[in-house]
Structure 1
């Protein structure tokens, strides 16, 4: 079963993170990614741009409308997400708990109920 694991953040949180600790934090994340890619349980890991770069795309009366900003009016936004492929929910929970930032922020875990093949 596939799961999406998400880590939230905000600009103030990232700005308060000491610059000298980023190298170690990135190295820990890279090690996590390698470990679970090797087991085949990490399908993909994606870090997102800051919320200021988000856009909303809609279609209204057949015309495309693009506006700036994330959908939700909130300080927190999705900072990164991971696609896991695990044999059980318990295994997905173990992997989510092993994420380097899980001791600082909770990891939101969602089962993927439907997948549409893109390489037909």
Structure 2
């Protein structure tokens, strides 16, 4: 089964951290990401771009309305995603627990949401 992992962060908490602390935290991510990819079970892994560049599209009055920023108003924002292929829910949890947002970054409000999904590749 395929699982979508959404890696969240809290922008306000990151804003309260010193640049040195942010750099020290983020510098730990590549090794953890590589450990997760080394399992051979990661199909996709990506960090999402700057929130200032996000756009939201909504249908309004028969036309598409484009606005700036994330769709939802929330304290936490999705900062990355990954898709894993796991044989069991337990394996999915084990793999997702390797992601940096699940293992460190408490001061930045990091978290991972793991979602089972139907996954179809189109040619």
Question: Which digits, 9 at most, give the CA deviation of each residue in 1:81-108, with x for residues without a partner?
Answer: 1111112111111122222332423321
Instruction: Confirm or deny: 8 A CA contact 1:57 1:67 kept in the other structure.
Output: yes
Partner of 1:44: 44
- State the shift of 1:24 in Å: 4.0
CA contact (8 A) 2:14 2:22 kept: no
TM-score by length of 2: 0.77
- In the TM superposition, 1:99-118 aligns within 5 A as 99-102=99-102, 103=104, 104=106, 105-112=110-117, 114-118=118-122
CA RMSD of aligned residues (A): 2.2
Q: How many residues align?
A: 118
* 5+ long unaligned stretches in structure 1: none
TM-score, L = length of structure 1: 0.79
Q: Deviations over 1:42-71 (max 9, x none)?
A: 222211234333211123454222111222
